[in-house]
Amino acid sequence: MKDTPMSLELILASSIVSLLVILLPTLFLLSRKLGPSNTNNKAKNSVYESGISFPVGNSESRFSAKFYLVAILFVLFDVEIVFMFPWAVNVRELSLFGLFEMFTFIGLLLLGLIYIYRIKALSWQ
């Protein structure tokens, strides 16, 4: 029976996957067993938060959804700058039609910003 190229690729891929499944855990275990470990170091085991010796509060405190909303809106309006850069590079070739399209784009962004301002999405209470 003659092997087709598809079966050779399948054999090669399965052998690579099986090698990785066996090799990676083995390497991690050998590194843990043979490598140095010092669990009695008090400074190494202590918590460090940006120069603060003792952490404040617990790690499971909840944040207001306003933080996430501000972050998403920042990313949204920041990504729009990426669309404006190629237009600015090619503004002479695009002529008046390109200028009209960019003003339409900026107008839509401005409408979105006005909407966000009117529903008071960025006001802190």
What does 29-88 look like in DSSP terms, one character per residue?
Answer: HHHHHHS---TT-HHHHS--BTTBSS--S-TTPPPPHHHHHHHHHHHHHHHHHHHHHHHH
Q: What is the pLDDT of residue 55?
A: 62
Q: What is the pLDDT of residue 54?
A: 65
DSSP-derived 3-state class of residue 2: coil
Instruction: State the CATH architecture for 60-125.
Output: Up-down Bundle (1.20)
Q: What is the pLDDT of residue 22?
A: 96
The letter for the amino acid at 5 is P
Q: What is the pLDDT of residue 60?
A: 73
Q: What is the pLDDT of residue 3?
A: 58
Q: What is the pLDDT of residue 41?
A: 76
Q: What is the pLDDT of residue 115?
A: 92
Q: What is the pLDDT of residue 52?
A: 65
Q: What is the pLDDT of residue 26?
A: 95
- pLDDT digit string (tens) for 81-122? 888 888 889 888 988 999 999 999 999 989 988 998 898 887
Q: What is the pLDDT of residue 111?
A: 93
Angle (CA) 17-22-27 rounded to 5° is 120
The letter for the amino acid at 77 is F
Q: What is the pLDDT of residue 123?
A: 81
- pLDDT digit string (tens) for 24-80? 999 999 998 998 877 777 777 776 666 666 666 676 777 777 888 888 888 888 888
